[in-house]
Amino acid sequence: MEFKGLLYEKRDRIGIISFHRPEVLNAMNTETVVEMKKIFAMMEDDTDIRCVILTGEGSRAFCAGGDIDEEAEKDVISAYEFVRVGGQLLETIERFKAPVIAAINGYCLGGGVEFAIACDLRIAADNALLGSPEINLGVFPGWGGTQRLPRIIGMSKAREMIYTGDKYTARQALEMGLVDKVVPAERLMEESLALAEKIASKAPMAIRYIKTSIYDGMQCDLQRALQMESALFAHLYSTQDMKEAYAAFFEKRAPKDFIGR
């Protein structure tokens, strides 16, 4: 399947999605949002997928945000539809069955930051530049940025980032907890693939339940979250992967390849 604004490839059990609109620094438009929804639906049905990497094609940009030319033409109704559809996509990424790693290269601005913070993990190239400059256009992050960003870097720093529209280097983003790791630009995909392969080698049902427990647990009070955690933990004792892992431990050998059941 071919796409206009994205590239997709599958390497063993890892799906790799690249923003591919170099003429606008990989900015997203409505068509690209729809294309990405199709890719995630396709990967959801692919039982081989164990991890996903989201990155930008080329070295200049991960994603420079929304396509300004398209956004400038919107009215109240079309703007609401745009943020609604985009928000649904980011929730799909956040709740996807497998971890999604943002491999951030170059500019990661506006909607690019919102894509990154919807991912499970974020690795930044040392030349990355991150920011939420929507305020300079008289708007604010509308794809969940005002909600996810405070949960990741804290309310005060999120306010500063969104109020000022300032841009931050990869090192500054690391210090504030916006990214998890900074690597040399030339090693970004190497490091991201190594992490993805490590995650892909783990029991996929356990990984999926971890994602569910963390994400859903953060949406409710601690008592309900702990009850959910206990139920998910116990359910893993019915899986073949758990039984194989325990058998391998007692037999002092490496476990066989996990099957996701």
Please check whether residues 165 and 243 belong to one and the same domain.
Answer: no
Please check whether residues 109 and 209 belong to one and the same domain.
Answer: no
Q: Model pTM?
A: 0.94
Range of the domain at 183: 6-200
Please check whether residues 133 and 243 belong to one and the same domain.
Answer: no
> One-letter amino acid identity for 150?
P
Kindly tell me if the per-residue pLDDT of 71 is higher than 90: no
Please check whether residues 195 and 208 belong to one and the same domain.
Answer: no
Kindly tell me if the per-residue pLDDT of 168 is higher than 90: yes
Residue at 65 is within a domain: yes
Q: How far apart are the C-alpha atoms of 201 and 211, rounded to whole Å?
A: 16
Please check whether residues 196 and 211 belong to one and the same domain.
Answer: no
In three-state form (DSSP H/G/I as H, E/B as E, the rest C), the secondary structure along 126-190 is: CCCEEECHHHHHCCCCCCCHHHHHHHHHCHHHHHHHHHHCCEEEHHHHHHCCCCCEEECHHHHHH
Residue at 216 is within a domain: yes
Kindly tell me if the per-residue pLDDT of 58 is higher than 90: no
Kindly report, residue by residue over 10-22, the tens digit of the pLDDT.
999 999 999 999 9
Please check whether residues 158 and 213 belong to one and the same domain.
Answer: no
Kindly tell me if the per-residue pLDDT of 110 is higher than 80: yes
Is residue 82 classed as helix, strand or coil in its secondary structure? helix
Please check whether residues 121 and 63 belong to one and the same domain.
Answer: yes
pLDDT at 53: 98
Q: Is 26 in contact with 63 (CB distance < 8 Å)?
A: yes
Please check whether residues 194 and 215 belong to one and the same domain.
Answer: no
pLDDT at 69: 82
CATH number, domain containing residue 144? 3.90.226.10
Q: How far apart are the C-alpha atoms of 22 and 119, rounded to whole Å?
A: 22
23 confidence band (pLDDT: 50, 70, 90): very high
Closest of 197, 201, 226 to residue 214, by C-alpha: 226
pLDDT at 74: 87
Please check whether residues 46 and 101 belong to one and the same domain.
Answer: yes
Kindly report, residue by residue over 27-56, the tens digit of the pLDDT.
999 999 999 999 999 999 999 999 999 999
Q: Is 177 in contact with 170 (CB distance < 8 Å)?
A: no
Please check whether residues 217 and 196 belong to one and the same domain.
Answer: no
Please check whether residues 24 and 48 belong to one and the same domain.
Answer: yes
Mean pLDDT of 229-241: 96
Residue at 256 is within a domain: no
The catalytic residue positions are: 114, 134
Instruction: Report percent pLDDT > 70 for the chain.
Output: 100
Domain count for the chain: 2
Kindly tell me if the per-residue pLDDT of 1 is higher than 90: no
183 vs 260: which has the higher pLDDT: 183
Q: How far apart are the C-alpha atoms of 223 and 159, rounded to whole Å?
A: 30
Mean pLDDT of 112-120: 98
Kindly report, residue by residue over 124-141, the tens digit of the pLDDT.
999 999 999 999 999 999
Residue at 1 is within a domain: no
| pLDDT, the chain, mean | 95
Please check whether residues 162 and 242 belong to one and the same domain.
Answer: no
CATH number, domain containing residue 218? 1.10.12.10
Kindly report, residue by residue over 194-215, the tens digit of the pLDDT.
999 999 999 999 999 999 999 9
Q: Which residues contact 198 (CB under 8 A, 6 or more apart)?
A: none
Mean pLDDT of 140-145: 94
Highest mean pLDDT among 72-76, 78-82, 246-250, 255-259: 246-250
